[in-house]
Structure 1
Amino acid sequence: MNLITSRDNPQVKAIRRLAQDSTAYRKQGQFWLEGDHLCRAALVRGVRPVQVVLAESFWQEQGQEWAGAGGQVLVLPDTLFASLSALESPARMGFVVAWAAAPEVLPDVPTVVLDRLQDAGNVGAILRCASAFGYRQVLALQGTAALWSHKVLRAGMGAHFGLHLAEGLEEPALEALRVPLVVTSSHLGPYLHELQAQAGLPRNCAWVMGHEGQGVRDSLMARAQLKVRIAQPGGEESLNVATAAAICLHASATSGV
């Protein structure tokens, strides 16, 4: 156990950058997980931390349990730990985990493509849906919120560790996919529930989820093998993208095709 009391300690500064800068993980090759739920989710998937970082009060209560998680154990006074956290109520423990960019696109697996989604909560929620419904890969095109930022990690609730994730991709990278590209539209294609009833909805496909305001870009609409609409009997103009993703991914995952 290493007790650190200075806010100017180089290790503390590095953790602070990871916790508060949404893209620092790309430069440092590490990301920050805060809270026992996320850390346990990582351990269950075989992810081991580089560092286990504990507030002093947490070390006194549960330190021995977490000391065995792997990596270096750093203990910080509670006020110093709180200064690292981006949360309103700091969780008193976290992991620093090694990160590397995914090297390739998996061509033949159920996939979700994120087209310039801006909201970290939406991105994390879609990752969680993807994992829950059996999708193995999420591809984020340039302009999408950073997948390993602390806000997306918290919204994903551990889903990251069961998915193949690639980000910062240009549209031509999607040419590597060997599954049909499916998009939602407000006015084109059959209704989702009708396709599902007719067993016409593919299970192994790549669903494209578009920008919160602009939707899926025109060039991706043109690439799509299938366009579908979600029925909205209540008359709303559109759905939140994470809500639309949950509806579409569930329907596709339970389809017979």
Structure 2
Amino acid sequence: MSYERNFTLIESAQNERLKNAIRLLASNNALRQSGLAAAEGLHLAESLLHLPGVNIESVWIPQSLLNKPEWLTLSALSDVLENGLVRCFVLSDALFSKLSKLKTPTGPMIFFEPENASTGIDLSKDIALLDGIQDPGNVGTLLRNCAAAGVQQVALSDHSAWVWSDKVLRAGMGAQFSLHLFSESDLLKALGASAGKVTVRATSLHPKSVDLFDADLKPAGIWVFGSEGQGVSPAWLDRASHYIRIPQSHHIESLNVGSSSAVCLFEQFRQRR
């Protein structure tokens, strides 16, 4: 490949660039402070590399991957690396295993600058708020559910798992790249500045809750999905205009938040078809 001239071979575990990359990957806080996130694996690489204007800091590749068909057909990489502005490092498989966080490292590892939405929240369109959801797998599942059900705006509270962590990226299968992501404070500011009434739906066993399948979900609104243990926080329960309960058999106590969000969002999707 013509861009291989831009590859840098790293042959020692004492290489300072490699040591710094390993240090960053050891802590989500270190990554966040550096202004970077990391995506590992061919699926995430393909999603990331096809995004227009994405700022990629570096690409790390295990040597064994270079001759595999799935790598050779990753055509988007050539466009990113051709101009030589992105640093691309090739490692032995043994060295790459020190970098990877997977039990079976596949590569590549791409460090990039994550971006949240550049525009403000549009309250006339659907929004999902992740209210204190701390499990990375659940956050990733929720993001994937939102993308699949057509909810393009997602806000996350400070107590939710970091949306760009490696575990959330893998669980969401790159759904982050197709969504407009905001903080809870962004959402609260938008609500505070709004002159109109905004529908806020909270999944809850509130005394005034309505069966999901009887609720009118055609109007746009805010879905609030609460934490695994505590559910929707008291502050958002107070803000809610509609309380929704999911009907189910008596053989199980409850669904987890990932499953609950899928049921709710796809019932909304069904009603709007």
Displacement of 1:245 in angstroms is 0.4
Letter matched to residue 185 of structure 1: S
Q: Is the 8 A contact 1:147 1:153 kept in 2?
A: yes
Cα distance change of structure 1 residues 203 and 44 upon mapping to structure 2, 3 Å threshold: farther
Higher mean Cα deviation, 174-183 or 225-234? 174-183
TM-score by length of 2: 0.84
- Answering whether residue 85 of structure 2 is matched by residue 92 of structure 1, we say no
Aligned partner of 2:23 in structure 1 is 17
User: Residue 106 of structure 1: SS of its match in structure 2?
Assistant: coil
Aligned mates of 1:72, 1:207 — CA distance in 2: 41
Matched, 1:145 2:165: no
Alpha-carbon separation, structure 1, partners of 2:145 and 2:97? 31
Give runs of ≥4 in structure 1 deviating > 6 Å. Answer: none
Q: Which amino acid aligns with 2:178?
A: G
- Does residue 213 in structure 1 map to residue 220 in structure 2? no
> 89, 95, 104: which one pairs with 1:80?
95
| Stretch moving more, 171-180 or 93-102 | 171-180
Pairs within 5 Å for 1:47-196 = 47=54, 49-61=56-68, 67-70=77-80, 71-102=86-117, 105-108=120-123, 109-167=125-183, 169=185, 172-173=188-189, 175=191, 179-188=198-207, 189-195=209-215
Q: Distance in 2 between matches of 1:165 and 1:172?
A: 14
**Structure 1 residue 204: deviation in Å?**
1.7
Distance change in 2, residues 1:209/1:61 (3 Å): same
Deviations 1:163-207 (A, max 9, x none): 011247488446257742110112431100122xxxx22342111
Query: For 1:159 and 1:52, how far apart are their aligned partners in 2?
Result: 20
**Which 10-residue stretch deviates more, 142-151 or 202-211?**
202-211
- Whole-angstrom CA distance in 2 between matches of 1:158 and 1:222: 33
Q: For the residues of structure 1 that align with 2:116 and 2:12, how far apart are their CA atoms?
A: 32
| Distance change (3 Å), C-alpha of 1:174 and 1:24 | farther
> Structure 1 length normalisation: TM-score?
0.88
1:29, 1:153 → 2: CA distance? 16
Q: Which moved more, 1:100-109 or 1:37-46?
A: 100-109
**Pairwise CA distance, 1:37:** 0.6
CA contact (8 A) 2:121 2:190 kept: no
The answer to whether the 8 A contact 1:2-1:74 is kept is yes
Sequence identity percentage:
34
- Paired with 2:116 and 2:23, the residues of 1 have a C-alpha distance of 19
- Assess, with a 3 A threshold, how the Cα gap between structure 1 residues 121 and 157 changes in structure 2: closer, same or farther: same
Query: Which deviates the most, 3-12 or 204-213?
Result: 3-12
Deviations 1:70-104 (A, max 9, x none): 12221011111111111111113121112245466
Q: Does structure 2 conserve the Cα–Cα contact (< 8 Å) formed by 1:183 and 1:209? A: yes
Gaps in structure 2 of 5+ consecutive residues: 1-6, 81-85
**Kept in 2: contact 1:105–1:173 (CA 8 A):** no
- Write the distance in 1 (CA, Å) between the matches of 2:63 and 2:259: 40
Deviation of the 1:58 alpha carbon: 1.2
Aligned residues: 253
Checking the alignment, whether the CA contact within 8 Å between 1:49 and 1:69 is kept in structure 2 is no
CA shift in 2, pair 1:171/1:93, >3 Å: closer
Letter in 2 for 1:191: D
Matched, 1:222 2:238: yes
How far apart are the structure 2 equivalents of 1:173 and 1:88?
42
Which structure 2 residues correspond to residues 232-243 of structure 1 after superposition, within 5 A? 232-243=248-259
